[in-house]
Amino acid sequence: MAIKEDDRTSNQLTLNTTILAIDSSTFICSVALMKQNEIIAEYSLSLPNIHDFVLAELVRRILADCEITVEEIDALAISSGPGSFTGLRIGASIAKGICFDNKIKLLPIETLFSVAYAAKKIANLFKAKRILVAIPSYKDLMYTQFFSTNAEPLSKVEIQTETQVETGILPNDLVCGSPNNNFSKGINVGKYFFPSARFVAISGLDMFHQGKYIPAENFIPKYFQEFIPKLIKK
């Protein structure tokens, strides 16, 4: 079959695209680099309350280790929420600093969508009817959203208890997002599809070629709930 000229152009753009991705929406602080349609590196730290100390250093380190300069980055994909208020704010600040002159395109990627997008293939492999993404929120609550097996939103983001979440799960739902849930229903692959910079990069590549980037100064994370300050125990 002959390849159209516009297909060649699209494929060439994909191969030449370098994307830096950041996910600071949960307790895991992660950055990833995608080049030539492949994840070439991902650095993650699963430690609480470290985002403000290590995120900028993780970005510097991954670029240095992969011998990629900031000028070589085409786009920065950033998890835009829902998630940790503090984590999202820190991620947004660093992303805006890197994309301040808009030469590097800023791609806001909704956290739950990035997980659903990454789970598309396995959803079809298991012949699932829907993808449910459920990630930890505050205390015993979870952010949840249903998607089609093509990662198209079927519902709005909700904040629910685990009991409420399980009530809505059907036997052929693919459940992603939380490695620690105890759902007895659905096809549970949560521990394999927890939010990460890798998934933000994968979905970000598609968003980049669709032109779904915004001016850095316009980026505001989607918190979905009011900030609840925490007291630090001495």
Strand segments, DSSP code E, in 36-181 are: 38-46, 75-79, 105-109, 130-136, 141-147, 158-161, 173-176
Among the ranges given (11-15, 142-146, 204-208, 225-229), the one the predictor scored with the smallest mean pLDDT: 11-15
- Cα-atom radius of gyration of the chain, to the nearest Å? 18
Strand pairing category for 130-136 and 105-109: unpaired
Burial class (CB in 10 A: 0-12, 13-18, 19+), 19: buried
Query: Which run of H or of E encompasses 88?
Result: helix 85-98
pLDDT over threshold 70, residue 56: yes
The number of beta carbons lying within 10 Å of the beta carbon of residue 67 is: 7
**Are 196 and 101 a contacting pair, CB within 8 Å?**
no
**Are 134 and 177 a contacting pair, CB within 8 Å?**
yes
Higher pLDDT: 48 or 120? It is: 120
Question: What is residue 224's predicted lDDT score, i.e. its pLDDT?
Answer: 83
Distance CA 121, CA 118 (A): 7
- 183: number of CA atoms within 13 Å, CB side? 30
pLDDT in tens, 172-209: 999 999 776 778 899 999 889 999 999 999 999 999 99
- Contact residues for 211 (Cβ-Cβ < 8 A; gap 6+): none
- Measured in degrees and rounded to the nearest 5, phi and psi for residue 86 equal -65, -45
Distance CA 87, CA 121 (A): 29
- Measured in degrees and rounded to the nearest 5, phi and psi for residue 117 equal -60, -45
pLDDT in tens, 87-113: 999 999 999 999 999 999 999 999 999
Question: What is residue 2's predicted lDDT score, i.e. its pLDDT?
Answer: 40
Q: Coil, strand, or helix at residue 87?
A: helix
